[in-house]
Amino acid sequence: FQDVHVGIFVGFGFLMTFLKKYGFSSVGVNMLIAAFGLQWGTLMKGFWHTKGEKICINVKSMINADFSTATALISFGAVLGKTSPVQMLILTILEITIFACNEHLVTEILQATDVGASMTIHAFGAYFGLAVTLVLYRPGLKNKHENEESTYHSDIFAMIGTLFLWLVWPSFNSALASEETYRIKAAVNTYYSLAACTVVTFAISSLMDQRGKFSMVLIQNATLAGGVAVGTCADLSIHPFAAMCIGSIAAVISVLGFRFLTVSVKDPPLLSFTYCFIGCVHFTPGMQAAALGSTIGIALVGGALTGGILKLPFLGQASDQNCFDDSVYWEV
């Protein structure tokens, strides 16, 4: 439980701190979303798993509550710097509600295998964030905002988030396995998938640079793809070499996505989706999961409806000029 908890609050929080003037909001609003979301997630998950008339509270339910907030945090990456705290709280309520319904459909009705929640959390959160950011698209931000960039120190803080997530990902994928044997399998497979993914990410990052240098933004994000990619089959009896192959393939897909997808997309609304690179970290590896049909449809429709609600003028959305700036909502 503690590993998952640290990953949600520290890992995701610091991973978002790469923007030079949005560090307070990245960590602070992440904490707000997570603290609020785990309470709402307890209720929503409990609704589908009630025994009698009461919601059972135990370590497993607390882990599930933390997991439910991860969907909102992934979507937060798609709209980072462009939404108000109030908007994010509303998004959290709506997304976790829809997530709980979709997860019940996928795991209980369709009986899909998804021990690491690559499909129900990562793919769902990415598609949901995609739909929200398309609806909230701002023509005024078509040209890059002056604050929409990182600095040397902000990238170091973001790397801290990457390291925490990388370290606790075996716990992410094994926490909800049904038996101890499956938990060990999930942890081992994730361990080797992440290791292989990291080595391949460094190698390709260097090969794709004319000077042979590493790209910090690639290392921050693509090194995590191995954990997502192996999540669906982590508890199965696959050979460690197979897990390493999965991690390596995830690294190749993610790095190539970072390198080419984000520079080749010319349609302005789609540029928003590439923001924070959630497409390559969560969206692409998550597609290795099975039974994605309901997840894709529900996430896109739910995200579009949520985006429409978030556009209501009284929710305090920052102006285009004040995007990516902590001083709008924080004492700086």
Residue at 165: amino acid letter: L
Give the pLDDT of residue 276: 42
**CA nearest to 279, candidates 319, 245, 228:** 228
For residue 17, the tally of other CB atoms under 10 A from its CB is: 24
pLDDT at residue 133 is higher than 80: yes
Residue 194 neighbours by CB under 8 Å, 6+ apart = 166, 169, 170, 223, 224, 226, 227, 247
Please report which confidence band the pLDDT of residue 212 belongs to, taking 50, 70 and 90 as the band edges. Answer: confident
CATH of domain 2-314: 1.10.3430.10
Give the pLDDT of residue 289: 45
Query: What does the pLDDT look like over 297-315, one tens digit per residue?
Result: 888 899 899 988 988 887 7
The mean predicted confidence, pLDDT, of the chain is 82
Query: What does the pLDDT look like over 44-77, one tens digit per residue?
Result: 888 877 766 788 888 888 988 999 999 999 988 8
The pTM for the full model equals: 0.85
Q: Which residue ranges make up each domain of the chain? A: 2-314
Residue 204 contacts residue 197 (beta carbons within 8 Å) = no
Structure tokens at 292: 């994605």
pLDDT at residue 274 is higher than 60: no
